[in-house]
Amino acid sequence: MSLVAGRVTVTVPATSANLGPGFDSLGLALGLHDTLHAEVIAGGLEIEVTGAGADSVPRDESHLVVRSMRQAFAVLGENPSGLRLTCENVIPHARGLGSSSAAIVGGLALARALVRDGRERLTDDELFELAAEIEGHPDNVAPAVYGGFTISGNDDAFYAVTAPVDERLSAVVFIPPTGVETKVARGLLPAEVPHADAAANSGRAALMVAALGFAPDQLHRATRDYLHQDYRRPAMPESLALVDALRADGIAAIVSGAGPTVLAFVVENADELLARTPAGWVSHHLRIDTAGVRASLA
């Protein structure tokens, strides 16, 4: 039998996409993790969920982690008799912190870990490609797989490249009490933008690579976005108001992914930033996760 006996555990990080100007391309893994456990059982499907989404996610084959596991098993040529899945969810849903990418990458990594030679038969690069196919775009799944800062896209195939992050950098995330679905946020974007805005945005995205890697003093300038944040203001006015207030004080603040979470980069002390958390919101000071998805025998 080529399946592992006993339980395997996977941890997968939250991610922030876009990072201001890097629309559908730049991504960063953050030190906030979902923990998933799975084991092969005699038959059936058992799912337990605690934490974020516990009251709303399905407990059947439509669960995103399970669907992702099934796709990985199909690639690996395996068909477990039954599965027991436990999800300890910390990443909030519909907040722009990559919860769906975490579920997809976590599910693929769980299935791979349950196969004895799974890592040899499904490499990290192949896992990334499969995750991007399931998600439909690579900007969140890339940092979830590889960790750190990634630049990704899709031409004839999905691709991802990792880039350095200055060790001094961390982030504060401000999470509002209600979410915004990615589909709603994308629906507010125009089909076309002025050429001047596109040109300005390309320069900021290029500068962002340098700012994150070795020039954090340039982060405020580098995080200026022209393509998506202001267009999404009607769906998240409080988030954009917070971004505006922080940026007015020289803080490199952005909308995380499709929002409505706000992310601000920190070089030194985060206490002053945390003190600016709006009433009813939750904030976290997070390190940059450099490891990406990790699996172990429980």
Give Cα separations from 263 to 128, 191, 283 (angstroms): 25, 26, 10
- So what's the pLDDT on residue 136? 95
- So what's the pLDDT on residue 249? 97
- Splitting the chain (298 residues) into consecutive groups of 10 residues, what average pLDDT does each group show? 91 98 97 98 97 95 98 97 98 97 98 96 98 97 98 96 98 96 90 94 97 98 96 96 98 97 95 97 98 93
CA atoms of 277 and 173, how far apart (whole Å):
9
Question: What is the CB neighbour count within 10 angstroms for residue 35?
Answer: 16
Q: What is the DSSP letter of 7?
A: -
User: Where does 180-253 have alpha helices with state H?
Assistant: 182-187, 195-213, 219-222, 237-248
Binding residues: 92-102
Domains and CATH numbers, the chain: 8-163+289-297 (3.30.230.10), 170-286 (3.30.70.890)
CA atoms of 166 and 149, how far apart (whole Å):
10
Residue 205 has, within 13 A of its CA and on its CB side, a CA count of 20
- So what's the pLDDT on residue 269? 87
| Structure token digits, residue 59 | 């407990």
Question: What is the CB neighbour count within 10 angstroms for residue 264?
Answer: 26
- So what's the pLDDT on residue 1? 55
Calculated CA dihedral for residues 148, 158, 257, 224, nearest 10 degrees: 80
Angle between helices 124-135 and 64-76 (to 10 degrees): 130
Question: What is the CB neighbour count within 10 angstroms for residue 147?
Answer: 21
The SS3 call for residue 93 is: coil
Q: Do 261 and 96 touch, CB atoms closer than 8 A?
A: yes
Q: What is the DSSP letter of 233?
A: G
Contacts of 168 (CB under 8 A, 6+ apart): 216, 267, 268
Binding residues for ATP: 92-102
- So what's the pLDDT on residue 183? 87
- So what's the pLDDT on residue 268? 85
The SS3 call for residue 277 is: coil
Q: Do 118 and 259 touch, CB atoms closer than 8 A?
A: no
CA atoms of 16 and 20, how far apart (whole Å):
10
- So what's the pLDDT on residue 54? 95
CA atoms of 164 and 106, how far apart (whole Å):
24
The SS3 call for residue 160 is: strand
* Predicted structure pTM score: 0.96
CA atoms of 271 and 19, how far apart (whole Å):
22
